[in-house]
């Protein structure tokens, strides 16, 4: 198996890094550029930026943030949110991104996956699947941060995404996201067994043990993480760095996290994985 990739996920609203639960109830955490640089220095393998209101407002506003970030960061960057056309992809790549992540546009026009992968290569196209388990026991795909039901059954959709030319799948269990209740291994395993392209697991990590378990049980290729990294980073940053952040800062000022989440670092995660025989990429940027 190739080395497992650790990918910090940075959800962006306007100029701010935000975080919620079930992709909702967003709280301002700070400046995304500062977090991105910190994660790069700490050994992140890639970074994932998501404009969380882009689909709602039918635009992606991350170009300036990406341009700033790529001046100091030299690992692959994936950008998602509001990407609907080949021109949108081209603009994001020209700003410095290496990959794009699409969801709403892929659902609305599945052939967009084929068109995009042919234009830019499959390795550039990541398809996000936001999954919610319904009463019939099946998982269904959602868009707009888990707000809009598509009617697509997740397993069938994942297979079709691969057939259309996507290079990777980012699977988010919306019911688990931000809760610290652990990954939805049943969901993730069913997709990882079905497709041959890399699968990135996202949503539910409480700490290093959950990350270790999802790798061992589900044969994923990468892990996208937010809360467990962001809350530890806040503890390490000086509080004054956040004074210019916009929006509701009550959560930031309180110093609270969630009882089910044990904040940790990229270095600690990688060490835990190595101690358990899982291959990870070394951090050549450690000072």
- Rounded to an integer, the average pLDDT of 156-168 is 98
DSSP string, 98-137: SEEEESHHHHH-THHHHHHHHHH-GGGEEEEEEEEE-TTS
Residue 188 lies in a domain: yes
Residue 261 lies in a domain: yes
> Could you read off the pLDDT of 176-220 as tens digits, one per residue?
888 889 999 999 999 999 999 999 999 999 999 999 999 999 989
Residue 260 lies in a domain: yes
Domain tally, the chain: 1
Residue 281 lies in a domain: no
Exactly one of 45, 46, 51, 130 is catalytic; name it: 130
Domain assignment of residue 229, given as a range = 5-275
Q: In this predicted structure, what is the pLDDT of residue 20?
A: 66
Residues shown for the chain: 287
* 208 flagged as catalytic: no
Question: Could you tell me the CATH number of the domain that includes residue 57?
Answer: 3.20.20.70
**246 falls in which pLDDT band (50, 70, 90)?**
very low
Give the bridge partners for 140, in sequence order: 132, 153
Looking from the CA of 121 toward its CB, the CA atoms found within 13 Å total: 5
Helix H, strand E, coil C: the string for 220-263 is CCEEEECHHHHHHHHHHCCHHHHCCCCCCCHHHHHCCCCCCCCC
- Rounded to an integer, the average pLDDT of 117-134 is 97
Helix H, strand E, coil C: the string for 170-200 is EEEECCCCCCCCCCCHHHHHHHHHHCCCCEE
> Could you read off the pLDDT of 7-39 as tens digits, one per residue?
999 999 888 888 766 555 457 888 888 899 999
Exactly one of 11, 33, 45, 208 is catalytic; name it: 11
Alpha-carbon radius of gyration of the chain: 17
Q: What angle do CA 21, 179, 26 make, to 5 degrees?
A: 15
Residue 287 lies in a domain: no
Please state, for a pLDDT cut of 90, what percent of the chain lies above it. 62
249 has pLDDT over 50: no
**259 falls in which pLDDT band (50, 70, 90)?**
low
Q: Residue 91 in 3-state DSSP? A: helix
Q: In this predicted structure, what is the pLDDT of residue 19?
A: 75
Contact (CB, 8 A) for 128 and 170: yes
- Rounded to an integer, the average pLDDT of 123-131 is 97
State the pTM of this model. Answer: 0.89
241 has pLDDT over 60: no
Residue 32 lies in a domain: yes
Q: Which residue has the higher pLDDT, 185 or 61?
A: 185
Residue 280 lies in a domain: no
* 130 flagged as catalytic: yes
Residue 286 lies in a domain: no
- Rounded to an integer, the average pLDDT of 234-245 is 57
243 has pLDDT over 50: no
- Dihedral sign computed on CA atoms, order 150, 228, 210, 123: positive
């Amino acid at each position: 198996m190739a080395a497992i990739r650790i990918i910090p996920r940075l959800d962006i609203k306007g100029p701010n890094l935000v975080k919620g639960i079930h992709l909702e109830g967003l709280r301002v955490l700070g400046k995304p550029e500062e977090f991105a640089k910190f994660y790069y220095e700490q050994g992140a393998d890639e970074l994932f930026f998501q404009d969380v209101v882009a689909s709602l407002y039918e635009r992606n506003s991350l170009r300036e943030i990406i341009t700033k970030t790529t001046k100091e960061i030299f690992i692959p960057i994936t950008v998602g949110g509001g990407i609907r056309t080949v021109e949108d992809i081209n603009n994001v790549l020209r700003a410095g991104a290496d990959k794009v992540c699409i969801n709403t546009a892929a659902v609305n026009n599945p052939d967009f996956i084929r068109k995009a992968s042919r234009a830019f290569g499959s390795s550039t196209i990541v398809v996000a699947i936001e999954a919610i388990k319904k009463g019939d026991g099946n998982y269904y795909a959602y868009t707009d941060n888990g707000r809009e039901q598509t009617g697509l059954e997740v397993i069938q959709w994942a297979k079709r995404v691969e057939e259309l030319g996507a290079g990777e799948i980012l699977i988010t269990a919306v019911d688990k996201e931000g809760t610290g209740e652990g990954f939805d291994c049943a969901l993730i395993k069913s997709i990882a067994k079905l497709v041959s392209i890399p699968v990135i697991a996202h949503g539910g990590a409480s700490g290093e043990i959950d990350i270790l378990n999802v790798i061992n049980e589900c044969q994923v290729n990468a892990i996208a993480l937010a809360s467990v990294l962001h809350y530890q980073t806040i503890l390490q940053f000086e509080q004054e760095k956040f004074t210019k952040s916009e929006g509701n800062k009550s959560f930031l000022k309180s110093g609270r996290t969630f009882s089910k989440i044990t904040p940790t670092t990229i270095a600690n995660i990688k060490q835990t994985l190595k101690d358990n025989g899982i291959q990870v990429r070394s951090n050549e940027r450690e000072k």
